[in-house]
Chain A
């Protein structure tokens, strides 16, 4: 069964460093998303992406964040200058269209020291 994959599973970085989190959505899906979950807290929406552009973004998704679909398979989230409070589990998701199930990857645990 097709699934969303994410790499790395765990990333440790120093405050102020740039990180790129990678995702491979399900191949025939057209909508892509990033969410995050700070330990012990709710899952929070970051951004949705369709047709090579951002559809919607939350207040969390400020100028330090960017997304890209550099080729036909990868979907990346870049944090330019990480802060301590960026430490969280980051989930990528994809859906066939905007009205159906969103399928999630296993997550990348980001630890900012």
Chain B
């Protein structure tokens, strides 16, 4: 079964608007991490939220976690063209040995 699933699969917005991406998962987790990947490039860590946390901020990023619904959201405020990338959630399941299980990602396009 799929552990992390993001939606939408693709999102296109105007520069300056806010972008919200969602992630759902199936099993109990230790933490959930969000990553960004520019086309064909490496995975850049954005933020980690632990299972006992509900919200976390980092600059223009805001992440929420609802363990009862097994879901998380990533909000990017005041988007910029440089935010264009794919965004992935990855979960560290409680019954795993620190392996991260990944979603398929949301492809975000910021139009100038």
Contact of B98 among A41, A95, A106 (CB under 8 A): A95
* Residue in contact with A56 in the complex, picked from B98, B103, B104, CB distance below 8 Å: B98
A73-113 to B contact mask, C-beta < 8 Å, 1/0: 00000000000000001010101001111111111000000
- Interface residues on chain A, size class: 20 to 34
Assuming the A-B contacts A91-B42, A107-B42, are A102 and B100 also in contact, with contact meaning beta carbons closer than 8 angstroms in the complex? yes
B97 touches A48 (CB 8 A): yes
Task: Decide: B102 and A43 in contact? CB cutoff 8 A.
Answer: yes
B74 within 8 A of A: no
Closest CB in chain B relative to A43 CB, distance in Å: 4
Report yes or no: B97 in contact with A106, Cβ–Cβ below 8 A.
no
Number of residue pairs spanning A and B whose beta carbons lie under 8 angstroms apart: 61
B97→A101 contact, CB < 8 A:
no
Q: How large is the interface on B (under 10, 10 to 19, 20 to 34, 35 or more residues)?
A: 20 to 34
Shortest Cβ distance from residue A110 to the other chain B in the assembled complex, whole angstroms: 14
CB distance from A81 to the nearest CB of B (A): 25
Q: Which of A44, A55, A101, A106 contacts B33 (CB 8 A)?
A: A101
Interface of B is mostly: strand
Known: A43-B88, A43-B90, A56-B97. Contact between A102 and B102, CB under 8 A?
Answer: no
With A42-B103, A43-B43 already in contact, the answer to whether A100 and B97 are too (CB < 8 A) is no
**In the complex, residue of chain A having the shortest beta-carbon distance to the beta carbon of B41:** A106
Rounded to whole angstroms, the CA-CA distance of A105 and B88 in the bound complex is 16
Report the Cα distance A91→B88, complex, angstroms.
15
A64 part of interface (Cβ distance < 8 Å):
no
B22-36 vs A, Cβ < 8 Å mask (1 yes, 0 no):
000000001101010
Name the one of B41, B45, B92, B102 contacting A42, with C-beta atoms under 8 angstroms. Answer: B102
Q: Is A45 an interface residue (CB 8 A)?
A: yes
In the complex, the answer to whether B31 meets A99 with C-beta atoms within 8 Å is yes
